[in-house]
């Protein structure tokens, strides 16, 4: 079995070293133009040339959860496209979202500002019942985030494409229930995949349906947010702030207004990083299962877009 590794923006050597340990019988090498035909590929944003030169791939293993970049490419017809399921990202996402939520709810930025002035002042306690958290996308990451948020006793709403009953979460599904979901939420967390149906879903019409003074946490993809609409809603006082981990253009250009907006917190697409050991173990497990002809989890449905 031959595996080719093509990781743009990542050094392939440590991945190859770990993959060789996990799959000692396989021939595993970094992809370069003209590389021999492989059975499987381990990829992150590969060039079209790589896929065109590897028409007999059986599995294309993305080292992340989101496959939006891959689905823009022409893929070998028979290959299964496989995403990472959790792989250590879900707990990171849960801690990141809880941190942003609690920082907003407990007004920790106001305390930090007061401390800089040497002021000993209290903020009035706020009712957590007034801060319902709406999670868009109740998949692997959304469900883990919901569980963590529930631990802090915030009301939780979940929105998905199909109905996903989760204990303690008020569930909404489909476009017909989007308005109701938004109207019931004050803190909005986006954990949707980027697909033709979800591109631009965070816009002036949807964000304006949130409860007054709403807060946005976008940890999914920059393409979900219409960036100028967010700035207009913040400046009009309709939204109270946002934590953004993902952007239309990454890295976020130095002149972008998000960097300097007083109510926007920017992080560099790091809310949940791919962990190499977990990811390699998951990919090796799935490749072995495929060799035995067994079904595997995390196969992307290209027509659905995730």
Residues carrying an active site annotation: 221, 269
For ligand NDP, which is the closer residue by CB, 67 or 187? 67
Contacts of residues 101-110 at CB distance under 8 Å and 24 or more positions apart, as own/partner, are 101/131, 101/133, 101/149, 101/152, 101/154, 101/187, 101/189, 101/215, 101/217, 102/152, 103/243, 104/187, 104/215, 104/240, 104/241, 104/243, 105/131, 105/154, 105/187
In contact, 183 and 196? CB cutoff 8 Å: no
172 binds, among ligand OXD, ligand NDP, none (CB under 5 to 8 A by kind): none
For ligand OXD, which is the closer residue by CB, 141 or 182? 141
Spell out, one character per residue from 155 to 174, where the chain touches ligand NDP: x when CB under 6 A holds, - when not: ----xxxx-x----------
Write down the least CB distance from residue 292 to ligand OXD, Å: 27
Would you call the peptide bond into 129 cis, given omega within 30 degrees of 0 as the criterion? no
C-alpha dihedral sign at 94, 143, 219, 264: negative
Q: Which of 303, 306, 274 is nearest to 14 (CA)?
A: 274
Write down the least CB distance from residue 70 to ligand OXD, Å: 10
Under rule CB under 6 A, residue 19 binds ligand NDP: no
164 binds, among ligand NDP, ligand OXD, none (CB under 5 to 8 A by kind): ligand NDP
Write down the least CB distance from residue 191 to ligand NDP, Å: 5
Kindly tell me which residue out of 38, 50, 89, 283 binds ligand NDP, with binding defined by CB under 6 A: 89
In contact, 97 and 189? CB cutoff 8 Å: yes
Under rule CB under 6 A, residue 182 binds ligand NDP: no
Site for ligand NDP in 242-261 (CB under 6 A): 245-246
- C-alpha span between 19 and 148 (Å, rounded): 32
Q: Which of 250, 264, 290 is nearest to 66 (CA)?
A: 250
Tokens of 278: 């977990």
Site for ligand NDP in 207-226 (CB under 6 A): 219-221
Site for ligand OXD in 51-80 (CB under 6 A): 64-66
Query: Which DSSP helix (H) or strand (E) runs through 29?
Result: strand 27-30
140 binds, among ligand OXD, ligand NDP, none (CB under 5 to 8 A by kind): ligand NDP
219 binds, among ligand NDP, ligand OXD, none (CB under 5 to 8 A by kind): ligand NDP
In contact, 132 and 184? CB cutoff 8 Å: yes
Write down the least CB distance from residue 45 to ligand OXD, Å: 11
| 3-state SS class at 243 | strand
144 binds, among ligand NDP, ligand OXD, none (CB under 5 to 8 A by kind): none
- C-alpha span between 226 and 222 (Å, rounded): 8
Site for ligand NDP in 263-302 (CB under 6 A): 269, 271-272
Kindly tell me which residue out of 13, 119, 197, 235 binds ligand NDP, with binding defined by CB under 6 A: 197
Query: Which DSSP helix (H) or strand (E) runs through 205?
Result: helix 204-207
The secondary structure of residue 140, as a DSSP letter, is H
**Residues making contact with ligand OXD (CB under 6 A):** 64-66, 274
**Residues making contact with ligand NDP (CB under 6 A):** 64-66, 89, 137-142, 159-162, 164, 191-195, 197-198, 219-221, 245-246, 269, 271-272, 306
């Amino acid at each position: 079995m031959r595996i080719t590794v093509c990781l743009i923006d990542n050094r392939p050597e440590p991945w190859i070293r770990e993959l060789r340990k996990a799959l000692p019988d396989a021939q595993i090498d970094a992809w370069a133009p003209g590389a021999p035909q492989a059975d499987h590929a381990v990829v992150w944003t590969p060039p079209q040339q790589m896929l065109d030169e590897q028409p007999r791939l059986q599995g294309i293993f993305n080292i992340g959860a989101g496959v939006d970049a891959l689905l823009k490419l022409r893929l070998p017809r028979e290959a299964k496209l496989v995403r990472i399921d959790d792989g250590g990202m879900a707990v990171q996402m849960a801690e990141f979202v809880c941190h942003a939520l609690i920082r907003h709810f407990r007004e920790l930025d106001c305390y930090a500002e007061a401390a800089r002035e040497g002021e000993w002042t209290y903020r009035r306690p706020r009712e957590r019942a007034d801060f319902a958290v709406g999670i868009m996308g109740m998949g692997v990451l959304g469900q883990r985030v919901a569980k963590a948020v529930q631990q802090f006793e915030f009301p939780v709403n979940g929105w998905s494409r199909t109905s996903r009953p989760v204990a303690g979460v008020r569930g909404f599904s489909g476009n017909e229930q989007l308005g109701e979901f938004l109207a019931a939420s004050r803190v909005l967390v986006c954990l949707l995949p980027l697909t033709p149906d979800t591109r631009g879903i965070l816009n002036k019409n949807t964000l304006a349906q949130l409860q007054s003074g709403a807060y946005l946490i976008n940890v999914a993809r920059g393409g979900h947010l219409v960036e100028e609409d967010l700035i207009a809603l913040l400046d009009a006082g309709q939204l109270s702030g946002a934590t953004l981990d993902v952007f239309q253009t990454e890295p976020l250009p130095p002149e972008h207004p998000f960097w300097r907006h007083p109510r926007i917190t920017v992080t560099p697409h790091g809310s949940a990083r791919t962990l190499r050991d977990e990811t390699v173990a998951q990919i090796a497990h799935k490749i072995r299962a495929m060799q035995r002809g067994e079904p595997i989890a995390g196969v992307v449905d290209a027509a659905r877009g995730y």
